[in-house]
Chains A and B, each alone.
Chain A
């Protein structure tokens, strides 16, 4: 009689172990792919464990099977299709969308249990037990709703469907969010007091809170927010575990929640931002342009694509610094063509990857890998920084704040202390940029004023295309 319980126990234990190994493996380049598959296997194992447990004990009604199959087929199908089709450049919003749906799932489970209490037969309905039940349902709804709406807002902002409304940059938003938070607390206690109808109030208010908290956050801070929301969806899963009394859910949810929190912290460090300022400081550009008077550029040299091509042709060593602008212009493939030509001419080309280059930490590596850039040409900041003095040409493509020497030299700068690439040490620096607009931080970039820096104005993709033409005319890469 106890066999199904023992089997489920063993399977759950194995699943937890494999999931833990999966997360661990995902944090190393070598083992990452296998680790991801291991985690996927562990997840399917846990489903088998749960279903076989019910088959061995209470049995599963035909009707239940039908709904299980409908739900799984539709969900998996859409998930698989989206995962296959989505372009690599829109990875951040895709992760946000998936994450939001995980939160929605926890929300629905809690809602279902709250409206139609499930009979598990063995429960003795003492007050303590039902209190725990109410609390875990409320937490699951609260966190689930915030995760869902927050992720959807994050996705919409990354897609460019939503911009940051002006009022969200003023103090008003703190007031609005505090009102939401207090209201959700009231709904929470009302619910515990036995007023079941306030569950809808809780759903609505927590959804609004999710929107209110995410909306003011600027585009480049989004990855941090998504990572945080990812951590929340783990917490929501753990709360759902309390609702349905499942240890596996609690462990897995807690693991993801904690790991997500650490990852968020690591990301913040790479961007030289504190989590608090990301969450409550609003968009960075809004504050700093106002406070730290940005100053005028005095010594800008601009040059044509032709000059740039001539200098590149004469170089021995070229370092490419790709940034957000390159990702937005989707110019990684064009860039690869340029570097191929240079390499064919015997010029050494490496890519300097700042920890937060791209739209998300690590995103640039994925994009360049997609464009067939050999992995060993991608160098991390600490490795490449000593190389700059021995470099002839640096091409800065759509990066700005991460190459600002102010971060090293000017202790009054808001950027001070942020790790940057020392591109100014190179003999010549070309900055390919659409205009003189400031970077994400809204701070003047001292690099542009330096005598060895030349600006090439234009869209990254267009400039690179022109560059290919010029290099061709010079006969580069044709021997």
Chain B
């Protein structure tokens, strides 16, 4: 893919991000932050690419693996913790008195 089209991707992605969050109730700031944070762990794909293309280069395999570990720590932890927070909100209406 050419550099120019990657720049287009960057531009459109940024615009999408700006559009997506218009009005967020303060209640959701913390979960939204941690959810978006989990998504930023998408670098795990880059780490995977690195490992696959390492072609037996052990130091590179190790760097890729450590990077993958960090990314997945971010992704898995981020989504779980967000779910835990949000579970507290959605539990409420059911035990309403």
Chain A residues within CB distance 8 Å of chain B:
19-20, 22-24, 26-29, 32-33, 35-37, 39-40, 43, 46-47, 50-51, 54, 58, 60-61, 63-64, 67-68, 70-72, 74-76, 78-80, 82-84, 86, 88, 91-92, 94-95, 98-99, 101-102, 104-106, 108-109, 111-113, 115-116, 118-120, 128-129, 132, 223, 226-227, 230, 233-234, 236-238, 240-263, 266-267, 270, 353, 355-356, 360-363, 365-366, 369-370, 374-376, 378, 380
Q: Which of B2-19 contact A (CB under 8 A)?
A: 3, 6, 9-18
State whether A63 touches B25 (Cβ < 8 A): no
A233 touches B66 (CB 8 A): no
**Cross-chain pair count, CB within 8 angstroms:** 404
A19 to B79, CA, bound (A): 13
23 intermolecular pairs with C-beta atoms under 8 Å apart: A20-B20, A29-B25, A63-B54, A67-B51, A70-B65, A71-B64, A98-B34, A99-B40, A105-B47, A106-B46, A118-B50, A129-B3, A227-B33, A236-B43, A249-B45, A249-B46, A259-B20, A259-B21, A266-B24, A362-B30, A374-B95, A375-B93, A378-B27
Chain A residues within an 8 Å CB radius of B22: 27
Residue of B whose beta carbon sits closest to that of A147: B40
CA distance A247 to B13 in the complex (A): 10
Q: Known: A32-B86, A98-B38, A250-B10. Contact between A64 and B20, CB under 8 A?
A: no
Asked whether, in the complex, the Cβ of B1 is within 8 Å of the Cβ of A105, the reply is no
Q: Which of B56, B79, B83 has the largest number of chain A CB atoms within 10 A?
A: B79
Tell me whether B89 and A365 are in contact (CB under 8 A): yes
Taken residue by residue from 31 to 75, chain B's Cβ proximity to chain A (1 for < 8 Å, 0 otherwise) reads as 111111111111111111111111111011111111111111111
Q: Report the bound CA distance from A80 to B28 in whole Å.
A: 22
User: What are the residues of chain A within 8 A of B32 when measuring CB–CB?
Assistant: 23, 26-27, 32, 263
**Contacts of A23 on B, CB cut-off 8 Å?**
17, 20-21, 32, 35-36, 39
The smallest beta-carbon distance between B14 and chain A, in angstroms, is 4
The answer on a CB contact under 8 Å between A99 and B74 is: yes
Name the one of A27, A68, A76, A267 contacting B48, with C-beta atoms under 8 angstroms.
Answer: A68
Q: Is the CB of B29 within 8 A of A252?
A: no
From A144, which residue of chain B is reached at the shortest CB distance? B43
Partner of A75, one of B18, B51, B76: B76
Number of interface residues of B (CB under 8 A): 89
Residues on B close to A: CB < 8 A?
1, 3, 6, 9-18, 20-57, 59-93, 95-97
- CB atoms of B20 and A255 under 8 A apart: yes
SS of A interface (majority): helix
Query: How far is it, in angstroms, between the C-alpha of A67 and the C-alpha of B57 when the chains are bound?
Result: 12
| CB of A4 to closest CB in B, whole Å | 13
For B16, B40, B80, which residue has the most chain A Cβ atoms within 10 angstroms? Answer: B40
Q: CA A457 – CA B38 in complex, angstroms?
A: 41
**Is there contact, CB below 8 Å, between A109 and B50?**
yes
Q: Are the CB atoms of A361 and B70 closer together than 8 Å?
A: no
Contacts of A378 in B (CB 8 A): 27
Q: Are B35 and A75 in contact (CB under 8 A)?
A: no
Nearest CB of B to A345, in Å: 15
Query: 8 new A-B pairs (CB below 8 Å) besides A61-B55, A79-B73, A258-B15?
Result: A26-B36, A27-B21, A32-B32, A80-B77, A84-B84, A240-B43, A243-B46, A244-B50
Question: Pick the contact of B72 from A36, A75, A233 — CB < 8 Å?
Answer: A75
Q: Is the CB of A246 within 8 A of B55?
A: no
Is A258 touching B18 in the complex (CB atoms < 8 A)?
yes
Interface centre among A32, A242, A267, A360 (most CB of B within 10 A): A32
Going nearest first, the 3 A-B pairs with the smallest beta carbon separation are: A258-B17, A254-B13, A79-B77
Contact A95 B50 (CB under 8 A): no
- Of A58, A67, A246, A251, which one neighbours B64 at CB under 8 angstroms? A67
B21 touches A33 (CB 8 A): no
B52 touches A262 (CB 8 A): no
The docked-state distance in angstroms from the alpha carbon of A266 to that of B3 is 33
* Residues of chain B lying within 8 A (CB to CB) of residue A33: 83, 86-87, 89-90
